[in-house]
Amino acid sequence: MRRSSIMRLWLVLILAFQLTSQLALAQRASTETSRERRPNILLILSDDCGHAEFSIQGHPRYKTPHIDSIGKNGVHFRQGYVSGCVCSPSRAGLLTGRYQQRFGHEFNIPPAYSETNGLPRSETLLPQLLKEVGYRTIALGKWHLGYAPQFHPMERGFTDYYGFLQGSRSYFPLKKPTRLNQMLRDRAAIPEEKFDYMTDHLADEAIAYIKQSQSQPWMIYLAFNATHSPNDATAADLKAADGNKIYAMTIALDRAVGKVLDALKECNLSKDTLVIFINDNGGAGGHDNGALHGKKGSTWEGGTRIPFLVQYPAKIPPGQVIDEPVIALDLFPTILEVAGVGDEELKKCQFDRQKLDGISLIPRMTGKTQRLVDRPLYWKSGKRWAIRHGNLKAVAGNEDQGDQAGLFDLFSDPYEQQDLSATHSQQLHQLEALYHQWESTLEKPRWGSSPGKKSGSGTDDRSTDNP
């Protein structure tokens, strides 16, 4: 009798526990349903494209309607910059929201396996924070931030990865890939014969992830290697470009971006997806930077000015053109604001927002403010450096300069042709003082510049990203 009573009591307790658990789950589900879903983030990065090689940037021949549509459906920042004049440092700044020289990532990572060369583990990357608040974080394409396992994208906050680790590789399948340029699905190497042309293939991969990820917000970092060397193009694109290989590669890039944008529409996600398109540095040799002075590897405008396009139909009015200078470092705080990642969540992640060097662009893009805050922008690659504050820019150390820094007014002289240093020496000294104050806060470079070049030279042309 007593045993029977005990058994009945246990049964009642179990049923009560199950009922309580079911009610808690139902309440949690109801809360999640009623809470506004965080928007998706699509960050598209092209590689080595010339500043002028897009029709939205004014190229008379290149037609890039799909890339152009991002700016037309949102904001075209006509004075957009990156924080580095070559590939790897620029990416390090983008994903940390900090000047990469602060943690010694000043030069391209040498194209050889190393257990130590990579974006320092002490730095917090944007996907780490988004992952903590429920995002699926997907990296696709070129990595170029370290080759050893501890630098792998999935060790730096990405939940998924498909791409290659090195700075460049063929756009076609390789018969004998190396461990640096082989294609990886997450951490495992995969057969290469499964794709035809890299640019289209990365777009197809992005589309597959978009369609898989309907139940949770996602961030996709889509890092095309287009249009970096080698100048590989399909026969059809070459024909459409009248044999111009760089234009043929650009046709493929625009097509790929269009396919991904179409997938957003198909999945009814366009309105609630922040889409960003930028390039990683100024155009490399052989590319078209328009009338800008310099190219990739320099701290002239041609080395750091990029196309900078943003759309987010749910919040950002279309058709805006903004001429105030912005930098890729601004994208980290911008994305945090769009994703609704507040101070309390950052505190749980032990992340200090004050460490960021950029500012959120959301108030400017939504019309809450009429102008961006006035702040200096800095560039450094070995002996080459520059600072812009307002319309004035001091620049020094480039190959076509002497030892003296030049001073230029980018409002009246955007192509840096009229050196004002002799007549405006006081303004130059003020900018130099600001630059050297910033420089004093930086960490020593963790590795030298390109193989075969003197450490600290900062020299980098198209060949230095190659195997």
Residue 262: CB atoms within 10 Å: 14
β-sheet bridge partners, residue 142: 164
Give how far Cα 142 sits from Cα of 36, 166, 239, 383, 396, Å: 33, 7, 27, 27, 30
Residue 307 to residue 322: CA distance in whole angstroms: 12
430 by Cβ neighbours in 10 Å (0-12 / 13-18 / 19+) ranks as middle
Fold classified for 377-465: Arylsulfatase, C-terminal domain (3.30.1120)
Residue 393: its H or E element: strand 392-396
pTM of the prediction?
A: 0.90
Where are the domains positioned within the chain? 40-365, 377-465
- Residue 144 annotated as catalytic: yes
- Helices (H), ranges, 35-115: 65-72, 87-96
**Strand runs (DSSP E) across 152-303, as ranges?**
160-164, 184-185, 188-189, 218-223, 273-279
β-sheet bridge partners, residue 406: 395
Write the CATH number of the domain with boundaries 40-365: 3.40.720.10
* Catalytic hit among 76, 105, 144, 287: 144
Q: Which of 96, 145, 157, 84 is nearest to 123 (CA)?
A: 96
* Catalytic hit among 87, 105, 152, 293: 87
Q: Give the mean pLDDT per block of 10 residues along the chain (467 residues).
A: 56 51 42 66 98 94 96 98 98 98 97 96 98 97 98 98 97 96 96 93 98 92 98 98 97 98 97 98 96 97 98 98 98 98 94 96 97 96 97 96 92 97 97 98 88 37 40
Residue 190: CB atoms within 10 Å: 13
